[in-house]
Amino acid sequence: MTDPYRLATSADEEHFEVTLPGRLILHARRTPDACALRNKDRGIWKEISWRGYRDATAATARMLHELGVGVGDHVSILSDNRPEWLYADLGAQALGARAVGIYQTNPAEDVAYILAHSESKVLFCEDQEQVDKAIEVTEETPTIEHIIVFDPRGIRDYEDDRLMRWDDFYAKGQELLDADWFEKTTAERDPDEATMVVYTSGTTGNPKGAMLASGNVVEIAKKMGPTLSVGPEDSVLSYLPLCHVAEKIFTVFLPLATGAKVHFGESIATVQVDLREVSPTVFLGVPRIWEKMHASVTLKMKDSSWLKRTLFDYWTLRGQEIAQRRREGRASLWDKFRWKLADLTVFRPLQERLGLRNCRHPVTGAAPISADLIRWFHGVGVPILEGYGQTECSGVSHLNPPDSIRIGSVGQPLPLVEQQIAEDGEILVRGPMVFKGYLHQAEATANTIDDEGWLHTGDIGKIDDDGFLSITGRKKEIIITAGGKNLSPEKIENTLKLSPYIKEAVAIGDRRKFVSALIQIDYDAVGDWAMRRQLTYTSFEDLASKEAVEKLISDEIKTLNDRLAQVENVRAFRLLPKELHQDDGEMTATQKVKRSAVHTIYEDLIESIY
């Protein structure tokens, strides 16, 4: 059967190799019936082939073209992860337009800023909740000409001519599509033209729109694939917001480079259930995900029988010792025998419960993580690889090689990536993955990429003799104590968050006599602890105000201080009366604490410590 979407005289496949829509075309040519995407819809997994993936993207591109979208235009997507997100993203890119992701958790004013700043012409919305935001900011976003709704169930009868249901949009695109139009259009794309705008988290001020080209992301994904030995037989779980570059690596860039299969879970809230069902071979977990897994296991074991608890504690400690010798290439036959025994009795059931039994490459990145937490996971047979990157370098520049993991570092630079440390300790990187600049912000771009092409990361670090990079802090966030000691707040905070009862920590100490911290308790974990002690409470604030809870956290901090240098010890703390939240300006959309905002909001609480 002739493929209606393929050129009669095949376009140069080498050209398709270097753009994301082109990579999709190649997979649809070579393995048209192989599964590319699996989507969980109302509890049922549905498969989409590479041919189906391409056909849907082609129809989307054709209809966007009909709506007037062309080279240099912007198309925004305000939605949870789903196949349609990818169709809209790659469909826009095929036209030479730029896809712009927006966090679905963003309030209306933040949505308005991105739509207005990018001058987007078309907005794809998930559902009623997101459409409401778009309608609310109509006056501030005059460039939005069309709003496409993926899931129109329950949608209100707005008197707005811009609204269109996805099903109608898609059907019209299929009707208009010529046989070879999609390939011809995609063949015109220049891999060096900006094809997406990824807005940074914005820990200070408004987010900046980093422009990335297919040439940036395809090249780095093609280097990352062999490093992890990823191929068509591998699978990933898509659950973090797709507007974040880290998730785009594992849902878009890497699968299109390698042919790996993408599973869309129902939501980030169901990630543990989805992990068990999918059992992916490659999994990206930001530090908070790994922290939650560790906390849930730790708390569960506290309620287990004496025998289970004793076996677990024994083998996790022995496991860390054996894992270290394995990393150093000096594991003995006795170590191998003990590991097999531990795997049968403890590690296998734990890995299956976490959904990571088949995971060859668990990866962490996007934020700092405790080295002790990584050692714990290695000790139970989950060999987490830490990597490093930023939006401005297509999300990844460094990764620990699976066969040469060095815990405490973020790994070595990927092939074609150069690194160096500036005189002030700042990490600089250079290579094909460096972005095209910030949208409408030439001065900010010039301050980030110097005349020699080095990207100034803003992170402080050091490189060892083998090229492994270690991050020691942020250039603007180093704590300098009154005694002149330079400390990393991330190291202190990540150590504190090893406690299952501490969800967030903000280290204080700049120009102070000693280090202190603001602590947000883990409401579920501390609530469970309180109930088992018949300690009643009515709210988060009430629970955090209990003397018994303060004593619990004090004891946890005293224990964890042993893991820190004496000058880093947290000598005092205050419990936050509420959970930090994005809507209150205390967290970014990626759930990173905005330190400067927290310092300002809780200034009186901080001053009460000193």
Q: How far is 553 from 559, CA to CA, in rounded Å?
A: 10
Most distant CA pair in the chain: distance in Å? 77
Would you list the DSSP string of 40-107? Answer: EETTEEEEEEHHHHHHHHHHHHHHHHHTT--TT-EEEEES-S-HHHHHHHHHHHHTT-EEEEE-TT--
Q: With residue 482 as reference, give the H or E element that holds it.
A: none
Q: State the residue for tokens 């989507």.
A: 39
Looking at every residue in the chain, the average pLDDT score rounds to 91
Give the N- to C-terminal CA distance of the chain in Å, as an integer: 77
Coil vs helix vs strand at 6: coil
Lowest mean pLDDT among 194-203, 213-222, 269-278, 379-388: 194-203
- Of residues 125, 120, 116, 112, the one with CA closest to residue 74: 120
Tokens of 470: 């270690």
What confidence score (pLDDT) does residue 597 get?
86
Q: Which DSSP state fits 32?
A: T
What confidence score (pLDDT) does residue 1 get?
44
- Of residues 578, 533, 571, 537, the one with CA closest to residue 554: 571
Q: Which DSSP state fits 593?
A: B
Give me the sign of the Cα torsion angle 457, 459, 460, 466: negative
Q: How far is 185 from 169, CA to CA, in rounded Å?
A: 20
The backbone torsions φ and ψ at residue 444, rounded to the nearest 5 degrees and listed phi first, read -65, -35
Q: State the residue for tokens 């036959």.
A: 333
What confidence score (pLDDT) does residue 9 get?
41
Using alpha carbons, list the distances in angstroms from residue 27 to 107, 171, 232, 392, 498: 38, 24, 10, 28, 43
What confidence score (pLDDT) does residue 6 get?
55
Q: State the residue for tokens 């903000």.
A: 506
The backbone torsions φ and ψ at residue 322, rounded to the nearest 5 degrees and listed phi first, read -65, -40
User: What is the value of pTM for the model shown?
Assistant: 0.84
Mean pLDDT of 98-106: 93
Q: How far is 525 from 522, CA to CA, in rounded Å?
A: 5
Residue 516: pLDDT above 90? yes
Let me know how many helices (H) and strands (E) the chain has, helices first: 24, 26
Residue 2: pLDDT above 60? no
Listing from the earlier edge strand, what are the strands of the sheet with 361-364? Answer: 282-284, 361-364, 385-388, 398-399, 412-413
Q: How far is 397 from 395, CA to CA, in rounded Å?
A: 7
What confidence score (pLDDT) does residue 14 get?
77
- Of residues 274, 227, 283, 238, the one with CA closest to residue 36: 238
What confidence score (pLDDT) does residue 424 get?
87
Pairing of strands 122-125, 146-149: parallel
What domains are there in the chain, each with its CATH number? Answer: 13-189 (3.40.50.12780), 284-474 (3.40.50.12780), 479-609 (3.30.300.30)
Would you list the DSSP string of 565-576? Answer: -GGG-EEEEEE-
Lowest mean pLDDT among 18-27, 169-178, 295-304, 354-363: 295-304
What confidence score (pLDDT) does residue 512 get?
85
Q: With residue 415 as reference, give the H or E element that holds it.
A: none
- Of residues 13, 24, 112, 11, the one with CA closest to residue 60: 24
**537: confidence class by pLDDT, cuts 50, 70, 90:** very high
What confidence score (pLDDT) does residue 472 get?
84
Q: State the residue for tokens 């070879």.
A: 180
Mean pLDDT of 444-461: 93
In this structure, are residues 232 and 255 in contact, taking their beta carbons and an 8 Å threshold? no
324-338, pLDDT tens digit by residue? 999 998 989 999 999
Tokens of 52: 């189906």
Within 8 A by CB and 6+ apart from 263, the residues are: 37, 38, 39, 40, 45, 235, 236, 237, 238, 274, 278, 280
In this structure, are residues 115 and 136 in contact, taking their beta carbons and an 8 Å threshold? no
**205: confidence class by pLDDT, cuts 50, 70, 90:** low
Pairing of strands 361-364, 282-284: parallel
Q: State the residue for tokens 């709003």.
A: 147
